[in-house]
Amino acid sequence: MARPRLILGLSAYYHDSAAALLADGEIVAAAQEERFTRKKHDARFPENAVRYCLSEVGAGLSDVDFVAFYDKPFIKFERLLETYLSYAPRGFASFAKAIPIWLREKLFLKDLLIRELKRDAPGFDWAERLRFSEHHLSHAASAFFPSPFERAAILTMDGVGEWATTSLAVGSGNRIDMQREIHFPHSIGLLYSAFTYYTGFKVNSGEYKVMGLAPYGEPRYARTILDHLVDIKPDGSFRLDQRYFNYCAGLTMTSERFHQLFGGPPRREDEPLTQRHMDLAASIQAVTEQMVLGLARAVARETGERNLCLAGGVALNCVANGKLVRDGCFERIWIQPAAGDAGGALGAALAIHHLQDEGPRQVAQGDSMRGSYLGPQFAQAEIEARLTAFGARFRVLTDDELYAAASADLAQGKALGWFQGRMEFGPRALGGRSILGDPRSASMQSVLNLKVKFRESFRPFAPSVLREAVADWFELGGDSPYMLLVADVVARRRIPMTQAQSALFGIDKLNVSRSDIPAVTHIDYSARIQTVHAETNPRYHALISAFAARTGCPVLVNTSFNVRGEPIVCTPEDAFRCFMGTGIESLVVGNCYLEKAAQDPSLQRNYESAFELD
C-alpha cells in the first residue's frame, strides 16, 4: 500500500503552539503543546505535539512530505518596523524590548524551525519541505476546508496576524479567494483586549472573563466607545482612534486619554470588581457584537453566499456567535473549534494541501473535525497500568455499570471527572477531558468554581445537552457541537426574578436561580451550549442518556478538566493528580471508576497554588 502523503502543520513562538497532521488531506491528529508540557499557553516549538501527531500514523518526521508554518515572520517584522517608524521617537521602550527577541530568534525563524526539525530527521533538506502560510489565510483555511459547506463566505477576526486583523474571503471547493482585509492597528481583537486589560484581566487569556462578566452589567459605556474609540463604516469595516490606545508604541494596551474617558486608571489585579467594571464589560461586549454583525451582514451582501465560516480568536466569542446565528444574515454558520492560533497549525497544513498542492476536498457530513477529538487516547490496559503505578485505587466496571455509577454520583450532586477517548483540540473540553456536574443544583456553580476550579465565583458554566433534546431546553434548533454558540434557556424552564431580586446589583444576582437548570443558566437566561452527538462521542452521549433516564434531565454541567491556570489534562496521571488536588469526588478514566474516599490520603496534594493564575 502506498504511504499516505503527510503534511504537518505548526504554530509556535507566539502563544498556544500546536501541531496538526494531515494524511492524504484527511485530518488525523492535532494537539496543543501545553497539554504535554503542562505549561499554559506554551509557545515553544511543539516537539511533543509533533511526536504525538506522527505516532497516530506510525510515522517519523522523515516521512513527512511538507511542514507548514502558520504565519510569515518577515511580513510581521515589516509591520513592526513600519509601526515603530511611524510612531518614532515614541515607542522606544517597546522597541527596546521587542527588537532583541526578533534579532535573536524570530527573524531567523526558518533557521530555528529547520534546526528543531533536524534534531529528529537530520538527513532531510528541510529548507525545501518547509512552507509558510499567511496568518489569516491559515485561519480561513481552518474555517472553510473542514466545514460541511461546498461554498461559503469566510470571516476571520483576531488580534493581529502579519498585517491583517480581519479578513473576508469566499471558499469554493478546494479554493479560497481573499476579498478584503482590515489591517493593524484597527482590530476587534485588540479593542476587546484593551478592555480586558483595563478591567484588570490578563491580555490573551482574560477575554473569557470579560465575556462572562458582561451580563452582570449594563452597556452604559457603549455609546462612549462608539463616539470616541471606534468608527464603524457602512461596509462593516472600522477604524480605531489610536489616541486612546497605546499598543502600537507602548507596553500597555490603553493610553491616558482612554483612562480619562472612562473615569480612572486600569483596575489592578488585586482590586475588587465593581459595577463599573461590569458595565464596561457589558459595553465592550455590546460593541463587539455590533461590529461582528456589521461585518457579517456586509459579507452576506457582498458575496451573496448563504453559508458562513468563522475563525480567529474573536470567533471564540460565543455570545456574539449566538447573535450572529439569530440575526439570520446567513442560513448556516460553522465555526472552527480551535479558532485561536493553535488552529492556525491545522489551517496552515490545509492551505498547503488544498491551495498549493491543489489536493481535492471531500465535504463531510457534519464536518471533517471528528468532533475535535483529535488528541491522544489510552487503551484500557494502559490506563490500568498507569493508574496502578501512580498508587490509585480503582474498580474496573463494564460500560453499563460505569454509566450507572457515574450518573448516580452526578444525580447526588457530586463533581465527577470524566476522561474518555481522544483529547479535544481547541480550548473547550467536549466530554473527552471534562469535569461534570448536575445542572439542577443551585449550589453547583459556586461549588465547582471555588472548590474544584479555584476560580472567580462569577465564572459561568456551560451545559452539554443531548442533540435530540436541545430544543426542549434551549432556544436553539441546530447543532452546537463545539460549545461556540450561546442561546437562551426556553421560556417555560425559566424562573422569573422577584422584585427584591431584580433590585440587586450586578454580581449580587449571582446566586439567584434563573431556571430549572440554574448551574448552567447565566444571569440573562443565556447558556453556552454543547450539543452531544452519538456519532462523535458515543460514551458521553450514553452517560448523559443514563443521567436523563435517572433524573429526566438530558443536560450536564461540563467544564474543562483542569484548575485555574492549568492546561486541560492529557494523560490518566494528569487526571488523577487533578482529582487528588481538588474537590472532584469521583473519577472515571476509561472503564476505571475511582472514588475520593477510597484513595490513599497521603496522595492528596495542595493543588490550588500549583499553577500560575491566568
Which of 178, 195, 478 lies closest to 302, judged by CA? 178
Identity of the residue, 103 or 450, whose beta carbon is nearer to another protein in the bound complex:
103
Q: Which one-letter DSSP state was computed for residue 245?
A: B
Position among 80, 153, 374, 523 found at the interface with another protein (CB under 8 A)? 80
Position among 147, 193, 545, 582 found at the interface with another protein (CB under 8 A)? 193
Identity of the residue, 73 or 219, whose beta carbon is nearer to another protein in the bound complex:
73
Tell me which residues in 24-43 interact with another protein (CB under 8 A).
43
CA atoms within 13 A on the CB side of 105: 9
How does 382-410 read in b/e, with b if 16+ C-beta sit within 10 Å? ebbebbeeeebebeebeeeebbbbbbebb
163 contributes a contact to another protein by CB under 8 A: no
In the complex, least distance from residue 97 CB atom to another protein, rounded to whole angstroms: 4
Pairing of β 238-240 and β 230-232: antiparallel
Identity of the residue, 79 or 509, whose beta carbon is nearer to another protein in the bound complex:
79
78 contributes a contact to another protein by CB under 8 A: yes
In the complex, least distance from residue 91 CB atom to another protein, rounded to whole angstroms: 11
471 contributes a contact to another protein by CB under 8 A: no
464, three cell numbers: 452539554
389 contributes a contact to another protein by CB under 8 A: no
Position among 3, 104, 115, 326 found at the interface with another protein (CB under 8 A)? 104
d(CA 501, CA 521): 16
How does 434-457 read in b/e, with b if 16+ C-beta sit within 10 Å? bbbbbbbbeebbebbbeebbbbee
How does 123-152 read in b/e, with b if 16+ C-beta sit within 10 Å? ebebeebbbbbbbbbbbbbbbbbbbbbeeb
Position among 247, 262, 461, 482 found at the interface with another protein (CB under 8 A)? 247
Q: Which one-letter DSSP state was computed for residue 567?
A: P
97 contributes a contact to another protein by CB under 8 A: yes
Position among 81, 385, 389, 471 found at the interface with another protein (CB under 8 A)? 81
Q: Could you write out the three-class secondary structure of 377-408? A: CCCHHHHHHHHHHCCCCCEECCHHHHHHHHHH
Position among 179, 224, 252, 377 found at the interface with another protein (CB under 8 A)? 252
57 contributes a contact to another protein by CB under 8 A: no
> Is 15 part of the annotated catalytic residue set?
yes
Q: Specify the residue for cell string 493508574.
A: 387
Stretch that binds another protein, among 104-112, 255-263, 265-273, 587-595 (CB under 8 A): 104-112
Identity of the residue, 263 or 265, whose beta carbon is nearer to another protein in the bound complex:
265
75 contributes a contact to another protein by CB under 8 A: yes
160 contributes a contact to another protein by CB under 8 A: yes
Ramachandran area for residue 62 (φ above 0: left; ψ -120 to 50: alpha; else beta):
alpha
Position among 87, 102, 124, 611 found at the interface with another protein (CB under 8 A)? 102
- Find all residues with CB under 8 Å of 216, minimum gap 6, and list them: 278, 281, 282, 458, 506, 507, 509, 510, 523
d(CA 15, CA 34): 10
In the complex, least distance from residue 515 CB atom to another protein, rounded to whole angstroms: 37
Position among 60, 100, 360, 478 found at the interface with another protein (CB under 8 A)? 100
Identity of the residue, 27 or 130, whose beta carbon is nearer to another protein in the bound complex:
130
Which of 103, 43, 94, 99 lies closest to 70, judged by CA? 43
Identity of the residue, 110 or 459, whose beta carbon is nearer to another protein in the bound complex:
110
Position among 26, 55, 60, 101 found at the interface with another protein (CB under 8 A)? 101
Question: Which one of 15, 228, 259, 533 is the catalytic residue?
Answer: 15
Stretch that binds another protein, among 75-83, 287-295, 378-386, 417-425 (CB under 8 A): 75-83
Hey, how many other C-beta atoms are within 10 angstroms of the C-beta on 458? 21
Stretch that binds another protein, among 107-115, 283-291, 406-414, 501-509 (CB under 8 A): 107-115
Q: Is 24 exposed, middle or buried (0-12, 13-18, 19+ CB in 10 A)?
A: middle
395 contributes a contact to another protein by CB under 8 A: no
Position among 3, 60, 62, 82 found at the interface with another protein (CB under 8 A)? 82
What mask of x and - would describe binding to another protein in positions 203 to 222, judged by CB under 8 A? Answer: xx------------------
Q: Specify the residue for cell string 476522561.
A: 419
CA distances from residue 402 to 429, 464, 586 in whole angstroms, order as listed: 20, 19, 12
131 contributes a contact to another protein by CB under 8 A: no
Contact 4, 21 (CB under 8 A): no
Sign of CA dihedral 521, 526, 530, 534: positive
Position among 84, 192, 198, 482 found at the interface with another protein (CB under 8 A)? 84
Please give the positions annotated as active site. 15
Chain contacts with another protein (rule: CB under 8 A): 14-15, 43, 74-75, 78, 80-82, 84-85, 94-104, 106-108, 110-111, 127, 159-160, 189-190, 193, 203-204, 247, 251-253
